[in-house]
Amino acid sequence: MNVFTWFSDRNNITFLIAIAGFAMSLYNFLRALWDRRCALSIDYVNHHCSPCKGHTRFEIRMNIQNLSSAPLSIVRMYIICDGKSYSFAFPAQEVMEFTHTKGGIETRHSEVLSQSLPFTISGHGVCGAYFAAYLPPELQSKLEGKCKFQLAVQTPQKRVVFDIDAHNPGLDFEEYGFFTNA
């Protein structure tokens, strides 16, 4: 039986179109799952620790990149240190307060706030922000210099854990001005 006789039968052509349609539908379904996956990366920028009313106030500046084409919601975030998990603050927290003076006159008084949770990052988007957590006082000495810890990011789909090599402790004085109160 040759190919031309097989294609001359209308039922065979209908069967071939049905198989091609099924294959394309399966491909589109798997591609949609792949595009909506929970894929993100974290780029550490810097961190700072300070005592605050019986706690250690831990602030981290980082960029979170959504690697998928679908929007990604970040519901909660945690720092994991010494095997224990500590939640980042939900509402925005003051990270820095600063002024600019010109000729002895205060020209601007501003504050920098942390990112409030939850938040959404658009497809292939990036959110660069500060995040604040209140930790037990005994963690200050461990986290105020160069250190290693883990960050857990909770999305509606899953929880992703990142190992962070925190090599840049300190504040962003050069970028934002003069620190007056935090």
The string of pLDDT tens digits covering residues 66-102 is 988 888 999 999 999 989 999 999 888 888 777 777 7
Identify the helix (H) or strand (E) that includes residue 39: none
Cut 0.95: pTM above it: no
Question: Are 22 and 93 contained in the same domain?
Answer: no
Buried b (16+ CB within 10 A) or exposed e, 71-88: ebebeebbbbbeeeebeb
pLDDT tens per residue, range 93-150: 888 777 777 777 776 667 778 899 999 999 899 999 999 999 999 999 999 899 999 9
Question: Are 91 and 104 contained in the same domain?
Answer: yes
> How many domains in the chain?
2
Question: Are 29 and 45 contained in the same domain?
Answer: no
Measured distance between the N- and C-terminal CA atoms of the chain, rounded to whole angstroms:
84
Question: Are 75 and 156 contained in the same domain?
Answer: yes
Host domain of residue 19? 3-35
Instruction: Please give the Cα distance from 132 to 145 (Å, whole number).
Output: 17
- Is 41 within 8 Å of 65 (Cβ atoms)? yes
Residue corresponding to tokens 């099924």: 22
Question: Are 46 and 74 contained in the same domain?
Answer: yes
Question: Are 84 and 132 contained in the same domain?
Answer: yes
